Structure 1
Amino acid sequence: MIRKVLGDYFINKNFFLLINGAFVSMIGTRMYEVAITWWVYQKTGSSLNVGWFLIATFLPRIIASPYSGYVLDHTSRRNIMVLMDILRGLLMLFLFIPVAIGKLTIIYLAAITILVSVCDAFFNPAVNSLIPDIINKELLVRGNSLYQLSNNVSKVLGPVFGATLLQVVGVGGIILINALSFVISGMCVILIKVEEKHLKTGRKSQTFIKDFQECKIFFKKNVFILSLVILIGVLNFFTGALHVLLPVHVKRLGMESIQYGSLLSALSVGAIAAMVITTISKIEVSILFLAISLFVYGLSILVFSLTSSFIIMIISYFVVGIGQTIFNVNMVSILQKIIPIDLRGKVFSIVQALTTALIPISYGVFGMLGNYFKTSYIFILTSVALLTGGIYVFLSEKLIEYSCNE
């Protein structure tokens, strides 16, 4: 089994470089997220402030996404990735300075976070758009699984390293590690040699308005995709409660940052388990797996919300990782198979904008509600939303009849 996974991992030099570069930067980012989120709550003692901080990580990305899609379809996606890694590394250095002199403020942190979020708006869709150019179409599911595997291994190691090193090197040390990770990522991506076919379609002079109209036509012809994207956006609103209130939930149960990091790692271990199964098996993209993954996700959150046992919490979050991952791999694979080469950048950017549009509102709403209601009640609401989404996907005739293999 391990041999099969590693065989796919090393089969393509470009894909190998992409995964390794992304893995290093994601390790740094996960460490940084744990340390900064914990720092914000420790400094302010308010879940609402954690919510405002998380809003700063998403809102700029949503606003910039439509323009980033236009840029990605008219320039080298690989070069954009390199540039974004460089810029994010520099931003981490600018953040380190006030930390080193003991002058870091919430406002300054938010400003840096906003700029990093804008860079993410270009980098993330660039990755999804580049993967189909460097691996064969029949390997897309496995390729996406391996990329998600790398991502989730970083989510296992990152929180553990972050929570541990936070006690040793402090926030400043973790910020420097994150800066270095972006430099390493950029060096790996710049070594990728790929023929970016979208640059040869003769569309470089096409206007932003024209591109947007083509994207609109694509969604009109693919109503299934649009309905699914809207559903994901609604569900992301409810699952946003987990992001903003998990450290609050852990703290209220009398636990510390090490338990918080362990829960995030359990989430990723579950995701890794799902990735390994998806990679070594020949599971095809299907609506059934989308529905099942939402059921698994919702039920595990329900169990998590009803217990104060750390062991059961760990197991529940492990299962959450499985549900999340199966859904994400299937969804990304569907998009990569049906989106034309010259539309990938803008469609992925719009998908990113639509699926995350409600997340900043979610962080604000649930950050406020966390000050007045038990976090367990809010998590139960999240589980109900996920289960309802699973029922909708399962029962919808249009979704069941659709198959990207047809």
Structure 2
Amino acid sequence: MAIETQARKDKMNQGPSQTVEPAAEPESASKGGGWLLLRTRDFGLLFWGQLTSQIGDSLSKVALLWFVYQMTGSALKMAVIGLLQTVPPLVLGPVIGVYLDRLPTKTTMIVVDLLRAVLVMLIPGLYALDLLTLERLYVLVFCVAVVSMIFGPALASAVPQIVRREQLTSANALLQGTANIGVLIGPAISGLGIVLIGAQNVLYVDAATFLVSALCLMPIRMRIRAAADPVSEAKRSFREDLLAGFRFVFIQHRTITALMLTATLYSLGVSAFVFMLPVFAEQALNVGPLELGWLWSSLGIGMLAGSAWLASRKHQATANGFKMISSSMTVGGVAVCGLSMLPTPLVATGLIVIIGGSTALFMPIVWGVLQELTPEPLLGRVFTTFSTGGMASAMAGMAGFGWAADTMGPGICLVGIGLVLLVTACVAAGCSRVHYPAGDRKQEGEALAA
């Protein structure tokens, strides 16, 4: 059975839906590459709001850690900040997904941005009033993390309500590009801001970026999300909704299950590589913090270039998306293995650019496939499940490969990470062959052409 037919049946099984098409886009935006989406009113507002917010996030990460270290003088107490930002997605992700599917997406995103602005603003505000204790700071950071974890799945759920089906991957790539830009320029701006106005005042700037994001969201016109029958929806319990999301991901839809496995392997390898980069730079390349900064920048440049290239492409059939994932993970895996064999700074810089570009293709394609195949009333639960699985896998990757680096050295560890990415490529290739046999690919191509 073709996957398009299965997805259509899944959506029909959700009951009657109420939909309103979004405002008409320029004809060129629906036919051209993804960059033309920036000319449209609604996606353009979403993009610029997210760009501002992502830069603010990067400002906050540097400024908050510096602020805590200045306040306590303890690296351990500073590390607790990272732990508090990691725990909520792991523990609360699936629970949040149920409520995301019950609430209007746009309103949820606006409320989240406003809450983040208030919570972040409280940190320097209480400090100025000499009321900020370490315990209160930890509580505020935890609350910000809980609220922030809602926004990512809500954003992924909102994209299909703004752009057309054939523009999903390009839209996801553009939104990923905002995160890449934030990582590239945010820390530098934050460092300059800390010197000029102090770490606590940089947090005011971060709060302001969330307000800008909320203001950009307010005029956006979104199609009303398809919903299940209100009567049956009211009778369903929280537990039933939660189990429905798990069944869809792990039992009912083989392609979604395969995607979950692929995403888990991807997070395992990529997070471990990022975690290992400082160790590799010091032990294998024998370089200092300045050169390490260049290596980080090379990774960011590669990711930004990969996102930009993917955004410029026109819509690809889902089977071709799996093939692209397989090809990009193969390139990334070979490049990571090559790092262990060619430990010179110049070669390493080039390989890291390639790694950044190849790994940047993964998530926008996966998000696009999920957005196409998942019934709209389940989008929140599916994306939070993927987020939770990815976070757990990332932590396992950092811990496991960190141990391997200490016991066997960074070279062997890099080969292991490269093999994980190559296995990810094999799983993606298997998905393309198993779930998209030749006849199904032909039917999907004819449907897209029509």
Partners of 2:280 and 2:410 within 8 A in 1: yes
TM-score, scaled relative to structure 1 = 0.83
Answering whether residue 409 of structure 2 is matched by residue 380 of structure 1, we say no
Query: Is the contact made by 2:55 and 2:183 (CA closer than 8 Å) also made in structure 1?
Result: yes
Of 19, 32, 36, the residue aligned with 2:47 is 19
Which residue number in structure 2 is paired with residue 72 of structure 1?
100
Counterpart contact for 1:230–1:355, Cα < 8 Å:
no
The residue number in structure 2 matching 1:224 is 255
Q: Secondary structure at the match of 2:168?
A: helix
The residue correspondences of 1:3-402 to structure 2 (distance < 5 A) are 6-11=35-40, 13-35=41-63, 53-96=81-124, 111-198=139-226, 201-202=229-230, 205=234, 206-219=236-249, 220-247=251-278, 253-256=286-289, 259-282=291-314, 284=316, 285=318, 286=320, 287-305=322-340, 309-365=344-400, 374-395=409-430, 397-398=433-434, 401=437
The alpha-carbon deviation at position 236 of structure 1 amounts to 1.7
CA distance in 1, matches of 2:177, 2:124: 30
- Counterparts of 1:65 and 1:340 in 2: how far apart (Å)? 19
Please say which of residues 298-307 and 67-76 is displaced more in the overlay.
298-307
Distance 1:101 1:197, change over 3 A: closer
| Distance of aligned partners of 1:265 and 1:88 in 2 relative to their CA distance in 1, 3 Å threshold | farther
Offset, 1:405: 4.3
Worse-matched range after superposition: 204-213 or 14-23? 204-213
| Contact 2:121–2:207, Cα closer than 8 Å, also in 1 | yes
Q: Is the 8 A contact 2:34 2:170 kept in 1?
A: no
**SS at 2:314 equivalent:** coil
Task: Give the Cα separation in 1 of the matches to 2:202 and 2:345.
Answer: 27
State the AA in 1 paired with 2:298: A
CA–CA distance in 2 between the matches of 1:348 and 1:331?
Answer: 11
Q: Is the 8 A contact 1:288 1:400 kept in 2?
A: no
Structure 1 residues 340 and 214: alpha-carbon distance in aligned structure 2, compared to 1, 3 A threshold: same
Higher mean displacement: 247-256 or 134-143:
247-256
Tell me the amino acid that sits aligned with residue 30 of structure 1: S
Aligned residue identity for 2:91: I
Give the deviation of 1:366 after TM superposition. 5.2
Q: Do 1:70 and 1:346's aligned partners in 2 also have CA atoms closer than 8 Å?
A: yes
Query: 1:159 & 1:376 partners in 2: Cα distance?
Result: 29
Distance 1:171 1:10, change over 3 A: same
Moved more, 221-230 or 23-32: 221-230
Distance 1:49 1:306, change over 3 A: farther
Counterpart residue identity of residue 24, structure 1: T
Residues 361, 38 of structure 1: alpha-carbon distance in 2 compared, 3 angstrom cutoff: farther
Deviation at 1:356, TM superposition (A): 2.0
What is the distance in 1 between the residues matched to 2:405 and 2:42? 45
RMSD (Å) for aligned C-alpha atoms: 3.6
Measured after TM superposition, the shift of residue 365 of structure 1 is 4.8
Whether the 8 Å CA contact 1:36–1:171 is kept in 2: the answer is yes
| Cα distance, 1:22 vs structure 2 | 0.9
Deviation of residue 185 (structure 1)? 1.0
Between structure 1 and structure 2, the one with the greater Rg is 2
Contact 2:34 2:167 in 1 (8 A): no
Q: Secondary structure, in 3 states, of the residue corresponding to 2:383? A: helix
**Identity of paired residues, percent?**
21
Give 1:66's aligned amino acid.
P
- 8 A contact 2:35–2:312 mirrored in 1: no
The structural deviation recorded for 1:132 is 0.3
- Alpha carbons of 1:218 and 1:306: their partners in 2 closer, same or farther (altered >3 Å)? same
| Contact 1:153-1:272 at 8 Å conserved across structures | yes
Distance 1:93 1:380, change over 3 A: farther
1:198 match: secondary structure: coil
Deviations 1:331-368 (A, max 9, x none): 11110101111111111111212222233344455566
**Matches of 1:53 and 1:361 in 2, distance apart?**
19
Distance 1:358 1:272, change over 3 A: closer
CA offsets 1:20-70 (integer angstroms, 9 cap, x no match): 111101011123334556788996668x985x6544322211211112111
2:63/2:200 contact within 8 Å kept: no
Unaligned runs of 5+ in 1: none
Cα displacement (A) at 1:135: 1.2
Residue 371 of structure 1: how far off its partner (Å) = 6.3
Give, in whole Å, the separation in 2 of the partners of 1:244 and 1:41: 21
- Alignment-mate amino acid for residue 218 of structure 1: F
Cα deviation code 1:263-305 (max 9, x no counterpart): 4433232223223322333251422111111112223333445
Residues 111-152 of structure 1: per-residue CA shift (max 9 Å, x gap): 444322211221110001011011111221222222223332
Distance 1:171 1:300 in 2: 38
How far did residue 107 of structure 1 move? 6.8
